[in-house]
Every structure is written in structure tokens, then in C-alpha cells.
Amino acid sequence: MRISVIGTGYLGATHAACLAEHGHFVVGVDTDKEKVTALSEGRLPFFEPGLEELLQTHLASGRLRFATDMVDAADADVHFLCVGTPQRPDSMAADVTFLESAIEQLAPLLERPCLVVGKSTVPVGTAQRLGERLARLSPAGRAVRLAWNPEFLREGFAVQDTLHPDRLVFGVSDSDSEATLRSVYSTQTAWGVPVIVTSIPTAELAKASANAFLATKISFINAVAELCDATGANVLDLEEVLGHDSRIGRRFLHAGLGFGGGCLPKDIRSLIARAGELGVGHAFAFLSEVDVVNMRRRQRVVDLSRQLVGESFIGRNVAVLGAAFKPDSDDVRDSPALNVAGQIQLQGAHVTVFDPKAIDNARRLFPTLSYAGSTLEACDGADLVLHLTEWPEFRALDPGELAQVTRRQLVLDARNCLDQQRWREAGWLYRGLGQP
């Protein structure tokens, strides 16, 4: 099929390359000329394992190309909208102006029947408004159909999640739209990937609801960790106990510094805001506390760090291992690690940060912090080592080797995934979160 992908950020670039992998002819359109140039040359403007190789393969195969002019998308049979919907600066609500702008640019070019598919995470009810605008602005009128097909990508696993999703959601209002989407995803459906066909409003709610549930699970175990700190209980053992319950499960039930990134925080706030607009805000009041618990984790790590170095950061050297909000990503949006590093620096410490992939993005966001090219360089002369992003190379560190360069052997494992026995045997004072 001939497919266009409007917006070639993290979601759009991944979706475009994976559609080409499944045999479609795809054009990715974006207004950012530098991004389009990089993608056209086979270079990713961000880090995602496996995606650059896929990009280069299908640029060479001729099934994938990129452009800055929306006219290049006009003759496609299906148009996927993959533009960003960030949190508005003046409220908790999502900003859908980029999506509206994409519709206004695309619609006048649609002169024959086709399908426009939203993948962006939006407040429920957005699609109805966009559909009306699409029909009004398009020369083909109502022959241009709108559907919603939410994404459920995990950064660091985006290629796998797109090529082999655990479910596909088709929000449609007619059988032709469903049939078109089944054709787009024929490879996945042939493999037996479950397809859930639902109304468009239900599909709009799918991603935000999933993220709100995951955020709630994370904040719950982090609240339990606070109780463990107050009582001497061990949250790691409780995670094991709860995780064996099939009704609860082990995934996302891991206490630590909390969540960040461009999705979970934004999506729960957007859901709270939209529920309030629809008069059912009371039903989602608990999500506000989920957000509060999550943000409090950052302050908890700052407070523990200050205690470990003697109640004052002045004159202390602090090494921060991790800048990305999660491993296998260079995304520093709402990064808990950088938030903690910034707070500690403001309280007088000299903070040096190292991350395997996110240094450049971190430096642009927090230029006043110091940055190192390796773990050993970041920890040179450190009074305290903070483990804030759980990269595999940090978990594999040799604490004995690291002790040769630090001033003091103090480590705060804010992700609760270092081998504490190994670190303690190497002479370190190890401190986790919710652990005695």
C-alpha cells in the first residue's frame, strides 16, 4: 500500500520504518528540514536500538523516503498522524495544535477517497472535531474517512513493539476503515496478533488509560517503599510477594526513583484535565496523588543524598550515573535523573553526570551541570555516587575498581537494581530505596 506518515519524531520514524519492513511504500513528512535530511541519509536524530539499521535497509530498498512538503503525501491511500501532543504550558491538558495544523495542511490535498488514521495520544473527543474539519477542508469531503489506531510503544523496545505488537486497536466508524486497517497490518494479523475493533472514542482513551494504570502501579509500590523506610521492611521482598499474585503481576512493580519521559506524566495529567472538562473529574482524583507520589520520589532521593554526605552539599562532589529517563534511550524529557542532579547542584554540590547515550540532550537541557565521558571520569573524586538510570553497564560496574577513584565509598541506588551484597563486600556504604 502507499502510506504517508505525518510527523517523523520518535513515533513517526519508527512507524514509517516498520511499515516499510512489512512491504508498504512509505513517505514520512515533517516540517523540520534538519530531521528530514538526517532521516533521508539514514541517520536517526534520536537513539532507539535497531531502528537505524531498519531505516537504512528500507531507504536502500526504495520502500521508504522522507520529505518536508505535504504534497508528497497527497497520493497515499492511508495517512498516519504521528505528531506530538505535549502538555500545554498553562495547564495539565494536552496541546493538540500540532495535530490540528497537520489536518489543515493535509486535508486540502485529499481529492479522492482515503483513510486518515490518528496514532497520537489525544484527549477523548478530539477525533470528532478533527473529523469534521477534515470533511470540511478536503475536496473529497466525507469520502475521506478518519480512524484511530493508538500506539503502545516502549522506548528502547519500539521496533519490537511495532513489528510484533501484543495487540492492535482499531477505532473505526465504518467497515471500510476496518478493512483498510486490516490490510495495513495484514502481516501482524496473519501472525495472530489480537485485533480489538472499537469506537473511535474508546480508541482515543486506550493509550492514556494504559499509561494511567501503569503509572498507578509504579506509584503504589513507591508509596509502599516509603512505608518500608519508616518501618525497616524490605520493598524488594514485598515486590516478590506481590508479583507472584497472578492478579497483580511483576512488571512495573519495582520501587525506585519513579517515572518520567514524554508519555506517562503527560498522559495522566491530560486524562485528569479531560475528565474535569467532562464533569467526571472526581473519578480521577486519585491520579493526582499518583503524580504527587511520583514527584516526591525525586525529593526523597535529594534528601537521602544530603543525609549521606553529612546534611550539606556544599563542597561535596556528587557523581550522577544516568541522564535519560530510562535505559536504552537518549530521551531526557521530564527525566527524574536530571531533576535530581539539578536540585543537588542548586544546593551547593558539584555534580558530574555520565550517561551512555543522553549526554548531548542532557547538556542542552541542563547546561550548568558538568558532564563526563565515562563512569570513571564522572566518579573521580566523588563523595557520593548516585545510580539514577538503570543502564546495564551501570549494573555491571566493578565496585572495587570504582572505589579506586572516588573520595568516599557511598552509593545511593535509586533504581534498586545494583547487587548490594557485592557493593558492600567491596567496602561501600550501599543505600537503596525502601530497603533496610
Q: What is the model's pLDDT at position 6?
A: 98
Q: Cell numbers 491538558 label which residue?
A: 93
User: Position 189: which residue type?
Assistant: T
- The answer on 309 and 413 residing in a single domain is yes
263 is catalytic: yes
| Residue 403, domain extent | 200-436
Residue 171 pairs in a beta bridge with: 148, 198
In terms of domains, do 85 and 207 share one? no
pLDDT tens for each residue of 144-166: 999 999 999 999 999 999 999 99
Digit-coded pLDDT (tens) for 308-348: 999 999 999 999 999 999 999 999 999 999 999 999 999 99
> How large is the average pLDDT for residues 398-411?
98
Cell triple for 309:
554526605
CA nearest neighbour of 341 among 361, 356, 363, 319: 319
Which residues, including other chains, have CB under 8 Å from residue 214's CB and lie 6 or more apart?
Answer: 252, 259, 264
Helices 126-137/200-231 angle, 10° precision: 150
CB 99 within 8 A of CB 120: yes
Computed over every residue of the chain, the mean pLDDT equals: 97
Task: Give the domain-ending residue among 141, 176, 198.
Answer: 198
Of 154, 171, 198, the position where a domain reaches its end is 198
Confidence of residue 49 (pLDDT cuts 50, 70, 90): very high
User: Is residue 118 classed as helix, strand or coil in its secondary structure?
Assistant: strand
For residues 138 and 226, membership in a common domain is answered with no
Q: Is 161 exposed, middle or buried (0-12, 13-18, 19+ CB in 10 A)?
A: middle
pLDDT score recorded for residue 136: 95
Instruction: Please report which confidence band the pLDDT of residue 416 belongs to, taking 50, 70 and 90 as the band edges.
Output: very high
Q: What pLDDT score does 296 carry?
A: 97
Query: Where residue 124 sits, what CATH number does that domain have?
Result: 3.40.50.720
Complete DSSP assignment for 19-61: HHHTT-EEEEE-S-HHHHHHHHTT--SS--TTHHHHHHHHHHH
Specify whether 165 is located in the same domain as 307: no
Residues 138 and 84 in one domain: yes
Burial class (CB in 10 A: 0-12, 13-18, 19+), 417: middle
Helix (H, G, I), strand (E, B) or coil at 15: helix
Average pLDDT rounded to a whole number, residues 82-111: 96
d(CA 223, CA 213): 15
Last residue of a domain, one of 167, 198, 229: 198
pLDDT of residue 160: 95
How would residue 20 be classed by pLDDT, with cut points 50, 70 and 90?
Answer: very high
**pLDDT at residue 15, rounded to an integer:** 97
Q: Which pLDDT does position 381 carry in this prediction?
A: 98
Q: Please answer whether residues 78 and 3 qualify as being in contact, where contact means their C-beta atoms are separated by less than 8 angstroms.
A: yes
Amino acid letter, 157: F
Count: domains in the chain: 2
Catalytic residue among 18, 82, 228, 263: 263
Would you state the pLDDT for residue 212? 97
Co-location of 175 and 248 in the same domain: no
Model confidence pLDDT, tens digit, residues 223-266: 999 999 999 999 999 999 999 999 999 999 999 999 999 999 99
The answer on 227 and 87 residing in a single domain is: no
In this structure, are 246 and 135 located in the same domain? no
In this structure, the answer to whether residues 214 and 180 fall within a common structural domain is: no
What pLDDT is recorded for position 98? 96
Dihedral in degrees, nearest 10, Cα atoms 88, 93, 98, 99: 180
What cell numbers appear for 44 in the block?
A: 536517526
310 and 407 in a common domain: yes
* Model pLDDT, residue 129: 95
SS3 call for 300 = helix
- One domain for residues 180 and 207: no
- For residue 146, CA distances in Å to 120, 143, 172, 186, 205 come to 13, 10, 7, 19, 16
CB crowding 169-207: b at 16 or more within 10 Å, else e? bbbbbeeebbebbeebbeebeeeeeebebeebebbbbbb
**What would the pLDDT profile of 280-314 be if each residue is shown by its tens digit?**
999 999 999 999 999 999 999 999 999 999 999 99
Q: Determine the pLDDT at residue 344.
A: 98
* Res 13: pLDDT: 97
276 and 168 share a domain?
Answer: no
Angle 132-134-135 from CA coordinates, rounded to 5°: 70
